[in-house]
Homo-oligomer: A and B are copies of this chain.
Amino acid sequence: MERLYSIEIKTNRRMEMVDVTGTVREIVRKAGIRNGICVLYVPHTTAAITINENADPSVRRDISRTLAKLVPAGAGYEHLEGNADSHIKATMVGPSETLIITNGDILLGTWQGIFFCEFDGPRRRKMFIKIVEG
């Protein structure tokens, strides 16, 4: 039996970190497996997934701003679509995260949330959630 799910994410700004923790958690709980792993994967080249603090939203803004400072938009890139910086940020953060499933739920630290990172929004995006029992 294949346990592969997908969700849609609507982003509203060029750079944005969308909290998807609740959605991922619900999918994993409903999948009904007790132990395993869960691979989150974005099929995009200007977006990414990260895990970071879910309590103070200023952390997310600091992450976005710092990435924007390190890799500024329009800084003389060769790629002509105006989103070279978005592609570079996507590689720096990465398109996937692998989570541990225990007791039928994802194993997250107290302050950890899962964030879809938009680097070239606003757009309609997708994220895959693949569960492997074991």
Binding site for B on A (CB under 8 A): 2-4, 34-37, 39, 41-45, 50-53, 56, 58-59, 61-63, 65-67, 70-71, 77-81, 84, 87-88, 90-100, 102, 107-112, 128, 130, 132-134
A111: nearest chain-B partner, CB-CB: B45
- A contacts with B: majority SS: mixed
Cβ contacts under 8 Å, A50 to chain B: 91, 94
A117: nearest chain-B partner, CB-CB: B91
CB distance from A27 to the nearest CB of B (A): 14
- Bound complex: CA of A43 vs CA of B88, how far in Å? 23
Cβ contacts under 8 Å, A100 to chain B: 4, 39, 41, 128, 130
CB distance from A34 to the nearest CB of B (A): 8
Could you write out 27 A-B pairs with CB less than 8 Å apart?
Answer: A2-B102, A4-B100, A4-B107, A36-B132, A36-B134, A37-B39, A41-B107, A42-B109, A43-B112, A44-B109, A44-B112, A45-B51, A45-B109, A45-B112, A58-B80, A62-B77, A62-B84, A62-B87, A62-B88, A63-B91, A66-B71, A70-B71, A92-B92, A94-B97, A95-B112, A96-B97, A100-B128
